[in-house]
Amino acid sequence: GGEWKAQAWAWRAGAVVPLRIFSTESGTLKAPFPFSPTLGLGWRGGPLKIDFALYAHAVMSMHKDRASPAADLSLSLDY
């Protein structure tokens, strides 16, 4: 992936490439897609940092038989 910073903001782009999905009940499973782009945005102000990422979730995509979007939001505090 890559990251571009502009003052307090950071834009991110990358990819999810599921190499192996394993289940204790089913064994190794075929990935639902070979490649999926990801997008992210981050902001930092003093000790506070907020990050957001949007991507296709490989395991949930297998359950729904289609690309299933997912998002992560994290809040960090440096002390």
Residue 65: both structure tokens together: 């038989």
How far apart are the C-alpha atoms of 65 and 29, rounded to whole Å? Answer: 13
pLDDT of residue 51: 97
* pLDDT mean values, one per 10 residues, the chain (79 residues): 94 89 81 86 96 88 79 94
Residue 29: both structure tokens together: 């499973």
Q: What is the pTM of this model?
A: 0.74
pLDDT of residue 76: 97
pLDDT of residue 9: 97
